[in-house]
Chain A
Amino acid sequence: MSNQLEAAATSGREAVFRVQGLTKIYLMGEVQVHALRGIDLEFYEGEMTALLGPSGSGKSTLLNIIGGLDTPTAGRVWYRGADLTAASEKALTEYRRQHVGFVFQFYNLIPSLTARENVSVVTEIATDPMSAQEALALVGLSARLDHFPAQLSGGEQQRVAIARAIAKNPAVLLCDEPTGALDSTTGVVVLEALERVNRELGTTTALITHNAGISAMADRIIRLADGHIAETVRNPVRKSAHEIHW
């Protein structure tokens, strides 16, 4: 996997995900909600992409389908040539286990496990993980290894969550509003951690945010509105995380 990654990073333009005509219709009672209305899109190796849009624009649905948590109503998603939309539940579990790192808005740490153990939960089941200490060092938490979530601040908890997501050496890191529950100062520290992971490990990163300021640190900004891609913008220069304020 890491060899592949290095190869991809040097070429820079290989698509990790290819999304074609992706449509998702939810049935809320008797009302049909069109979350996605036929989206075409690619994510490239090593790239950091920001998915920007208001609530209900479809960005989380898109991320969920890419992450193997949800299935589309129509359209297809290929991960490195494998059709995720045709995969079985078991295959999707294996896909998440080995290839995807998730970071949630509300951290979702296991309260009964320490920082180190929260990371180990993932490294124990992955095939080629880094050590839990290594992962926590990457997010600057070497001093907090044996703290339980209840003993950590919100920002620290989110950094543990990032360490947990990257420890398996995933091919892709999917972050859904990772700073949504944090204040600006703490949020920047978390974003720095994500930036460092993307830069040092070359992990393809998709970052959902409704904060336009944050999107400045991405290579590319995909603006969603009402289930469509409204606009795709390439940042000529990525802003570094510590320059961002909101």
Chain B
Amino acid sequence: MAGQALAIAMVIAAGSATYIMSVNVYEALSETRHQYYERERFADIFANLTRAPESLAARVEAVPGVDRVQTRVVAAALIDVPDFADPVTGRLVSIPDDAEPLLNGIHLRRGRLPQPGRDDEVLVSEAFADAHGLRPGDRLSVLIKGRYRTVSLVGVALSPEFIYQIAPGRILPDFKRYGVLWMTREPLAAAYEMEEGFNDILLGLAPGADPESVMERLDLLLEPYGGLGAYAREDQISHKFLNEEFRQLRQTASLFSGIFLGVTAFLLNVVIGRLVNTQREQIAILKAFGYGNVQIGWHYVQMVLVIVLFGVLAGTGLGAWLGGGLSELYMDYYRFPFLRYRVHADTVLVATLVTGLAAVAGTLGAVRQAVRLPPAEAMRPAPPETYHTSWLERVGFRGRLDQPSRMILRHISRRPLKSTLTAAGIAMACGVMMLGTFFTDAMDEMVEIEFGLAQREDLAVSFYDPTSLRAVHELRALDGVHYVEPFRSVPVRLRVGQRSYRTSILGYRPDAVLHRALDDELQPLRLPDAGVLLTEQLAGILGVVTGDPVEAEILEGRRPRHQVEVAGVVRQYIGIGAYMSLDGLNRMMQEGHAISGAYLAVDRLQRDEIYQRLKDTPRVAATEASDARLENFYDSIAEFLLTYMGFISALSAAIVFGIVYNSARIALAERGRELASLRVLGFTRGEVSYILLGELGLLTLLAIPPGFGLGYLLSAWMVATLPHELFRIPLVLERDTYALAAAIVIAAAAISGLIVRQRVDHLDMVAVLKTRE
């Protein structure tokens, strides 16, 4: 019994560990974020503008519902990191000269704050510092207002604004190529001609204030100063990303918890039911001694509860440990100063209740069957069980089978329900395992389509301001540049009725070959002269289909508003946005032939030289390399998902092992006598094992194809229930996912089979001669 109890406990442990890990990681991250926001006074409303006098702050503060106001100077910069050729962009953010920021507080990790008035001292964000191994005392060269300035790094800091440190307009973090620098207000304002002024404002709201009306008032106040439109926390880039990730994490957690607890409960019910069935004789003896049905039931329930308790305890330990590890992994990407990770008691309670109830239900069902038999009858020699020829033999296999194989077939077909349940359990575990590895395939597919078919450029160069097409010729003249394709990118708010979404429209040429939008056949979409293409997600968010009108409110320049028609829907797995023809976009902007950047195909060997030339070009605001993007994709999104799914796969393997081992042990208990008789008749250990394990082997093999089907359905369900605003997961299952799931199922089955085989080797032949069933 010890081995079986252990295997059942293992199934319970695996199921509850998955649940406890998933739920607690989510809870930890969202609780940590909440506390961090409170502690560092994360702003509620944000706005950027061209320049406003500091005196405006008092008028903003007077707006009803505003609790506090923090004005800042914020600027884009290029950073030159020693020994790092790739172009690095940065964000310079001012901190008050001699006071704590009222909003978006700075948490100093190392070093000290810059001294007031010093124009050569900066704080850097921890993610950036860690990526480059920067320490207080190191020096950096920063391009500020067209002039390189050497600054000294005096401290490393965190801010609730940059928990997810990501460059504006990007969808993946790149800690190496994007960093945040904090400088005191006075020197930064001086460099950008912002003395007595500001270009960025943060608002903290009083409790109960209505953010919409505050934003409306704020927009009115900032309008004369080039305000780009206020936005709430929900649209703040780091917060928004975290929301998306947390939402996905929560859904993944509940999805997997549901699947795992469900499968565990099912298996427990089946396995424990069969286990109690093998105890029929003991139950009869207990009844003969005068034990009542309730007492007997309670005895088995107690036994099972001990196993459940043991399993849940182990699962809690394992889940807490894995969850802790997973949270730490997240902490590399979400920059929190602390982590509030704890195991919530209610998760343990839920795991205990679900597994406990399933186990008790299975136990009581089996006990009820066992006690129904009068004790005398149960102790009399049982009549041989009734068998019939199996349907396989009836359709013509009869002559070709040896007796052991015949026994296997008849055994399976005699109890079709039991055989089906065993196979169903194995199929479920196989399906869940596929779900674990499916993500690898999906990630690869996303990369292949996005970076192999849609965005094929080696480099993307963007300029500070819209530039004339001449820049394209200049880029083409650089050594090592093979091909240049211009683009125009314009920040925009798209509106349809009450729905709106802030994004940007990317304009490119209809004959583009490097960077283009694809249709759902993965063919380049024909770019209409007028009209806009929307990614599927964006069309969904706005609730539009091809042919519908959309209002586009441009968020730069003269900020025109236009009605445009949705000309098509783009199949895009990574990112969200809108596309237009370059000419069409420029016509809408009424700005002539302007471009905001270009996609380049370059000679990889000459890349560092190209980077250097680009760094020396004042117009160039940023350069993004496609391989860095790929690396970031795998480092961020893929790493979490794959680690998480790795845990899921391992736990599924534990479940397969648990179910096959238990089925084998129960089969051994049910048929030990028969097998020992055959040993007496001269069957070898191997031949006898074949009869016992052949049945399980056959059931395992039969379970794999439906397991594949189940895995596919689960993956499809996962894709459908896990919408991420910025990522769409394609439903692709490669052959290796099927192969791996099958291999693990077979390996887990084989290992449990080998362990049971040990017991077959020690069947007591002597006992068989004397005892009846």
Q: Which A residues are closer than 8 A to B by beta carbons?
A: 60, 64, 67, 69-70, 90, 93-98, 100, 102, 104-106, 108-113, 117, 120-122, 124-126, 148-151, 157, 164, 168, 176, 181
Q: Which residue of A lies closest to B773 (CB)?
A: A106
Which residues of B sit under 8 angstroms from A96, Cβ to Cβ?
Answer: 680-682
Q: Is the CB of A157 within 8 A of B403?
A: no
Which residues of A sit under 8 angstroms from B414, Cβ to Cβ?
Answer: 112
Which residues of A sit under 8 angstroms from B682, Cβ to Cβ?
Answer: 93-98, 100, 122, 125-126, 168
**A97: which of B384, B681, B770, B771 is its contact (CB, 8 Å)?**
B681
Of the candidate stretches B87-95, B385-393, B557-565, B569-577, the one touching chain A is B385-393
Task: Mark each residue of chain B from 761 to 772: 1 if its CB lies under 8 Å from any CB of chain A, else 0.
Answer: 000011011111
Which residues of B sit under 8 angstroms from A97, Cβ to Cβ?
Answer: 681-684
Q: Which B residues are closer than 8 A to A by beta carbons?
A: 381, 383-388, 402-404, 406-407, 410-411, 414, 673-674, 677-685, 687, 765-766, 768-773
The 8 closest A-B pairs by CB, nearest first: A97-B682, A149-B384, A108-B677, A96-B682, A111-B384, A112-B410, A121-B403, A150-B386
Q: Is the CB of A150 within 8 A of B385?
A: yes
Complex Cα spacing A181 to B380, Å: 11
**A117: which of B381, B406, B679 is its contact (CB, 8 Å)?**
B406
Known A-B contacts A94-B682, A125-B683, A150-B387; A64 and B407 likewise in contact (beta carbons under 8 Å): no
Q: Give me 17 other A-B pairs in contact (C-beta within 8 A), A97-B683, A117-B403, A125-B683 excluded.
A: A67-B680, A93-B685, A97-B684, A104-B768, A108-B673, A108-B674, A108-B680, A108-B768, A110-B677, A112-B387, A112-B406, A112-B410, A113-B410, A117-B406, A124-B403, A148-B384, A148-B387
**B769: which of A104, A112, A117, A151 is its contact (CB, 8 Å)?**
A104
Complex Cα spacing A125 to B680, Å: 13
**A104: which of B403, B677, B679 is its contact (CB, 8 Å)?**
B677
Complex Cα spacing A67 to B768, Å: 14
Complex Cα spacing A122 to B344, Å: 61
**B387: which of A111, A124, A164 is its contact (CB, 8 Å)?**
A111
Complex Cα spacing A107 to B383, Å: 11
B667 → A minimal CB distance (Å): 13
**Which of B683, B768, B769 has the most chain A CB within a 10 Å cutoff?**
B769
Known A-B contacts A94-B682, A102-B681, A121-B403; A148 and B770 likewise in contact (beta carbons under 8 Å): no
Q: Is the CB of B387 within 8 A of A106?
A: no
Which residues of A sit under 8 angstroms from B770, Cβ to Cβ?
Answer: 60, 105, 176
A141 → B minimal CB distance (Å): 16
Complex Cα spacing A67 to B681, Å: 10
Which residues of B sit under 8 angstroms from A98, Cβ to Cβ?
Answer: 682
Which residues of B sit under 8 angstroms from A120, Cβ to Cβ?
Answer: 403
Complex Cα spacing A100 to B680, Å: 9
**B402: which of A70, A93, A100, A124 is its contact (CB, 8 Å)?**
A124
Which residues of B sit under 8 angstroms from A157, Cβ to Cβ?
Answer: 384
**Which of A94, A110, A117, A164 has the most chain B CB within a 10 Å cutoff?**
A110
Which residues of A sit under 8 angstroms from B385, Cβ to Cβ?
Answer: 111-112, 150
Q: Is the CB of B406 within 8 A of A93?
A: no
Contacts A/B (CB < 8 Å), 27 sampled = A64-B766, A69-B680, A69-B765, A93-B682, A93-B684, A93-B685, A97-B681, A97-B682, A97-B683, A104-B677, A104-B680, A105-B772, A106-B773, A108-B680, A108-B769, A109-B384, A110-B407, A110-B674, A110-B678, A111-B384, A112-B414, A113-B403, A113-B410, A150-B384, A150-B386, A151-B386, A168-B682
B97 → A minimal CB distance (Å): 88
Which residues of A sit under 8 angstroms from B678, Cβ to Cβ?
Answer: 110, 121
Complex Cα spacing A100 to B682, Å: 8
Q: Is the CB of A93 within 8 A of B407?
A: no
Q: Which residue of A lies closest to B680 (CB)?
A: A102
Complex Cα spacing A111 to B670, Å: 12
Complex Cα spacing A82 to B459, Å: 85
Which residues of A sit under 8 angstroms from B773, Cβ to Cβ?
Answer: 106
Which residues of B sit under 8 angstroms from A125, Cβ to Cβ?
Answer: 682-683, 687
Q: Is the CB of A148 within 8 A of B386?
A: yes
Known A-B contacts A104-B769, A122-B682, A125-B682; A181 and B381 likewise in contact (beta carbons under 8 Å): yes
Q: Is the CB of A93 within 8 A of B679?
A: yes
Known A-B contacts A93-B684, A113-B406; A64 and B384 likewise in contact (beta carbons under 8 Å): no
B482 → A minimal CB distance (Å): 73
B453 → A minimal CB distance (Å): 58
Complex Cα spacing A113 to B681, Å: 15
Q: Is the CB of A60 within 8 A of B769?
A: yes
Which residues of A sit under 8 angstroms from B383, Cβ to Cβ?
Answer: 150
Complex Cα spacing A125 to B381, Å: 29
**Which of A104, A151, A157 has the most chain B CB within a 10 Å cutoff?**
A104
Complex Cα spacing A110 to B384, Å: 8
A108 → B minimal CB distance (Å): 4
B408 → A minimal CB distance (Å): 9
Complex Cα spacing A94 to B687, Å: 12
Complex Cα spacing A112 to B414, Å: 9
Q: Which residue of A lies closest to B410 (CB)?
A: A112
Which residues of A sit under 8 angstroms from B381, Cβ to Cβ?
Answer: 106, 181
Complex Cα spacing A61 to B386, Å: 33
Q: Is the CB of A112 within 8 A of B683?
A: no
Q: Is the CB of B680 within 8 A of A112?
A: no
B385 → A minimal CB distance (Å): 5
Complex Cα spacing A151 to B402, Å: 22
**B681: which of A94, A106, A150, A164 is its contact (CB, 8 Å)?**
A164
Complex Cα spacing A176 to B388, Å: 30
Complex Cα spacing A121 to B406, Å: 10
**A106: which of B402, B687, B772 is its contact (CB, 8 Å)?**
B772
A224 → B minimal CB distance (Å): 16
Q: Is the CB of B407 within 8 A of A70?
A: no
Q: Which residue of B lies closest to A168 (CB)?
A: B682
Which residues of A sit under 8 angstroms from B404, Cβ to Cβ?
Answer: 121
Which residues of A sit under 8 angstroms from B766, Cβ to Cβ?
Answer: 64, 69-70
Q: Which residue of A lies closest to B683 (CB)?
A: A125
Which residues of B sit under 8 angstroms from A60, Cβ to Cβ?
Answer: 769-770
Q: Is the CB of B769 within 8 A of A105?
A: yes
Which residues of B sit under 8 angstroms from A110, Cβ to Cβ?
Answer: 403, 407, 674, 677-678
Complex Cα spacing A120 to B407, Å: 12
**Which of A67, A106, A109, A122 has the most chain B CB within a 10 Å cutoff?**
A106
Complex Cα spacing A112 to B383, Å: 13
Which residues of B sit under 8 angstroms from A90, Cβ to Cβ?
Answer: 684
Which residues of B sit under 8 angstroms from A164, Cβ to Cβ?
Answer: 681
Q: Is the CB of B384 within 8 A of A113?
A: no
B15 → A minimal CB distance (Å): 34
Which residues of B sit under 8 angstroms from A106, Cβ to Cβ?
Answer: 381, 771-773
Complex Cα spacing A94 to B681, Å: 10
Q: Which residue of B lies closest to A121 (CB)?
A: B403
Complex Cα spacing A185 to B344, Å: 72
Complex Cα spacing A120 to B768, Å: 21
A91 → B minimal CB distance (Å): 11
Which residues of A sit under 8 angstroms from B679, Cβ to Cβ?
Answer: 93
Complex Cα spacing A103 to B605, Å: 85
Complex Cα spacing A126 to B687, Å: 13
Q: Which residue of B lies closest to A154 (CB)?
A: B381
